Structure 1
Amino acid sequence: MMGPAGLGFVTQLHALLADSGDANLAWSPYSITEALRLAMAGAAGSTRDELAAVLEDAPGGVVFPDGVRVANTIWADTSVPIKDSYDVAEVHVADFAHDHEAARAAINADVEKTTDRWIRGLLGPGSVDSGTLAVLVNALRVRLDWLHPFERSATRALPFRAPGGTRDVPTMAHQGRLDYGAAAGWRLVTYVSRADSGQRPGDLVLDVLLPDGELTAPSAELLHELYASVRPEQVDLRLPRFDASGSALLARQLGSLGLRTLFTDDADLSGISDVPIKISEVIHRAVLTVDEEGAEGAAATALIARAGMAAAPPIPVHVDRPFLAVIRDRPSGAILFLARITEP
């Protein structure tokens, strides 16, 4: 099967973000890489080289199904004319110099509109001021419905071994033939969405990554091995409903991954404007919800029995301890969301 793309960047940044504690965490590799691509489209010299190296395997400009909405915008001060050749984002004029609060409100309102108000107040007070020259923004909205929704009547409270102690949580159940893999002390099961046009598999899927022991940040090599092991199997899946969110300032983490010039006076973003600019901070927020019907960030199952050879019992995948969850576009490999769930 085709697994996720850009795993080097994703696993390295996830390790840095997950180091912040034991709480649930969701973030969007695709949104971050798309925003960085907005900078790379106008970068030159070492600035572009560093961005290209970091984003080498990350998919960009993906054509997603109808359940995914993506908007790229640039908000430039009146003193920063945007070059006609810079055509990767919708250009807005914002008067940061004279009314930065109005500019901040306009950006936040646009993000709220794109995300159906799932992301509110992306730019907090003080995040822009009269010295701000431009803001490059990616906004992402995802809604998917399962091909085989979990039956709500089958959801029941089951023990989950959270870091703070075992407790009962609402846990969904499904038995059926699913993509399943196991390698290096991890197991993976994929739950498929429904295509917009009817009852057939869609491109968007949920991957649940369950370690045999304590939840750690997996390496790219481990994930390649895990995804390479995937094959269809009869699976008994028990998965908690969950909500996760995250917010972060990413300049320091991205700098440690190799984006050194972008945040310095040596930054070359001359493809955006003739006015010299550099990036001072990267702000990110994400929200993800998974339930019986589908996923947002945004069941009836029939097993037809017939006479034949005795089937092997279904492989148990009982998600009763901390795990990782991936919302992924199968054709491109783009990772739309990565969530660490410790307290469903």
Structure 2
Amino acid sequence: MKRRQLMAVSSGFVAAALAGCIGNDNQGDDGSDGGADGSDGNDPAESETPDETETPADVDDEHLETLVRGTNGFAFDLYGEVVGDEPAANVFASPISATLGLSMAYAGAREDTRDQMREVLGYQLDDSLVHAGFAQLQEQFDERGADGESDAEGEQPFELSVVNSAWGQSEYPFEEGYLDTLDTHYGGGLRETDFRENAPAARADINDWVATETDDRIEDLLPEGSLTPLTRLVLVNAVYFMANWKHTFPTDATSEETFTALDGDEHAVQMMEQEQDWQYAELDGAQAVELPYVGDEVSMLVVLPPEGEFESYESSFDAETLDSLVDALERQEGTVYLPRFEFDWRVRLSKPLKALGIEDAFAQKAANFDGIADTDEDLYLHEAFHKTFVAVDESGTEAAGATAAVIGDTAVPADPFEFRANRPFLFAIRDRPTGSVLFLGRAVDPEGWR
């Protein structure tokens, strides 16, 4: 296919996925109320009901900055937890995908469940502003993709798409206010399906939707058995990103070079090379270089920790560190050596989210999602799945993500720098105007690349 050729020749790809399930373990297989313990004792009419939809929220730049600062903080907290579980593995996450998927569930959370989610997700604004803020962020991301001009072959060298969907049990008593919030702020109008009678078919439909939205880069987001007759709601986010570098790496400069993995093993990799004026910084012994994509609104920041100190540097790598590196960037002549790499990654997020403090949402008897539906069932988050893919080559980067919650210039220095990523490095794909971290990862082991 011509599109596949464009990807292979001129771009890379990033994908991310998060999934979750809201269910009731006290029900029979036919979906009726098991009646063992009843509901959790919370009367929806008496629970806290944030007013997200009745009063329009005006989101200004200060609100958006506050929202992004909080969600970027969550991004690094989550990254730290998942890396702790896979200390020697390549990792690539889409924080914005995870955040949006969880935010749709948060819209229906009440009392302690809501408070825990709010604290961990870094929300500092009123709920109406949180949801309106995410709607505005998504609009801005969509504009990035819409502004791209086609090349001589009619292909777009820059694409960024962020979409949501909600899949709910047909004839289930969902709260109108909750559905209005999903539709108004997340563009995720309810798609009715029948988990009770045919959960496997519902899973296939959701996975097909994700694959379509990510250009087939994210397949089987929801694994076999992830949905059951007890599933009531699946909330999905999909992020797709494909962009050419503003300064493409010449293919004839790529050569074989040795990359020393985190475990000390040496691997032969294809090392790209380009001399250019870059935004570059050295801070606390680490090197950072910003590689802009076409349009200059999104970029990849590659961070090379001090040699021999990758793990200690990464353990303290947070949103504040990222901001400090970005603030320190200055235009400087230099040569960047970056390996071609491609890998996918998947994780179940319930464990790291619980470790961060979102505990009640995953506990059947403690969870309170009374804002989602008027029901005696104990709705809770069953699991959250996240899956990603990234590919980087001489032409650029391609990225895609899916989430389902079941439920200026400075003077040029005299000495050019050399940035040689022949050992483990960190990288983040950022939306420059808002500062949002779209993707965050580590490349530490070429054995896991392809």
TM-score scaled by length of structure 1: 0.88
Distance 1:259 1:321 in 2: 35
- Corresponding residue of 2:243: 144
Letter in 2 for 1:319: A
Q: Residue 12 of structure 1 is aligned with which of 67, 74, 77?
A: 77
Matched, 1:239 2:338: yes
CA RMSD of aligned residues (A): 2.1
TM-fit CA distance, 1:183: 1.8
Matches for 1:303-322 after TM superposition, within 5 Å: 312-322=414-424
2:354 aligned partner, one-letter code: G
Q: Deviations over 1:275-330 (max 9, x none)?
A: 352111111100011111110116xxxxxxxxxx9961211111110001111111
Q: For residues 269-288 of structure 1, what are the structure 2 equivalents within 5 Å?
A: 269-275=369-375, 276=377, 277-288=379-390
Following superposition, the deviation at residue 132 of structure 1 comes to 1.1
Question: How many residue pairs end up in the alignment?
Answer: 326
- Tell me the equivalent position of 1:49: 115
Describe how 1:60-99 pairs up with structure 2 within 5 A: 60-61=134-135, 62=137, 63-64=140-141, 65-66=144-145, 67-85=159-177, 86-87=179-180, 88=182, 89-99=188-198
Instruction: Report deviation, 1:111.
Output: 0.6
| Residue range with higher mean Cα deviation, 332-341 or 148-157 | 332-341
**1:187 and 2:287 aligned:** yes
Q: Deviations over 1:82-114 (max 9, x none)?
A: 333223222111111111111111111111111
Q: Any conservation in 1 of the 2:73–2:122 contact (CA below 8 Å)?
A: no
Distance 1:56 1:283 in 2: 20
- Trace 1:115-134 onto structure 2 (pairs within 5 A): 115-134=214-233
Alignment of 1:39 onto 2:105: yes
From 89, 94, 101, the equivalent of 1:28 is 94
Q: CA deviation at 1:175?
A: 1.4
- Letter matched to residue 82 of structure 2: L
Asked if structure 2 preserves the Cα contact closer than 8 Å seen for 1:159 and 1:169, the reply is yes
- Superposed, which structure 2 residues align to 1:94-243 within 5 Å? 94-162=193-261, 163-195=263-295, 201=296, 203-213=297-307, 214-216=309-311, 217=314, 218-220=316-318, 221-243=320-342
For 1:340, the aligned partner's letter is R
Q: Residues 245-284 of structure 1 correspond to what in structure 2 (within 5 A)?
A: 245-264=344-363, 265-275=365-375, 276=377, 277-284=379-386
Q: One-letter code of the match for 1:260?
A: E
Q: Within 2, Cα distance between the matches of 1:81 and 1:110?
A: 24
**C-alpha distance in 1, partners of 2:267/2:202?**
46
8 A contact 1:33–1:60 mirrored in 2: no
Q: Percent identity?
A: 32
| Aligned amino acid, residue 28 of structure 1 | S
Letter in 1 for 2:164: N
Kindly indicate which of the two structures has a greater share of residues assigned to strand: 1
Distance 2:161 2:75 in 1: 21
**Whole-angstrom distance in 1 between the partners of 2:337 and 2:421:** 6
Does the CA contact (< 8 Å) of 1:186 and 1:226 recur in 2? no
Once the two structures are TM-superposed, the CA of residue 233 in structure 1 deviates from its matched residue by: 1.7
State the Cα distance separating 1:28 from its structure 2 match.
Answer: 0.9
Distance 1:311 1:111, change over 3 A: closer
SS in 2 for 1:13: helix
Q: Is the 8 A contact 1:244 1:339 kept in 2?
A: no
Deviation of 1:143 (Å) = 0.8
**Can you give the 5+ residue segments of structure 1 that lack an aligned partner in the other structure?**
196-200, 299-308
| Aligned-partner Cα distance in 1 for 2:271–2:112 | 49
Where 1:106 maps in the other structure, the secondary structure is: helix
Residues of 1 paired with 2:230 and 2:306: CA distance? 51
More helix by share: 2
C-alpha distance in 1 between matches for 2:343 and 2:439: 10
What TM-score do you get using the length of structure 2 for normalisation?
0.68
Distance 1:135 1:15 in 2: 26
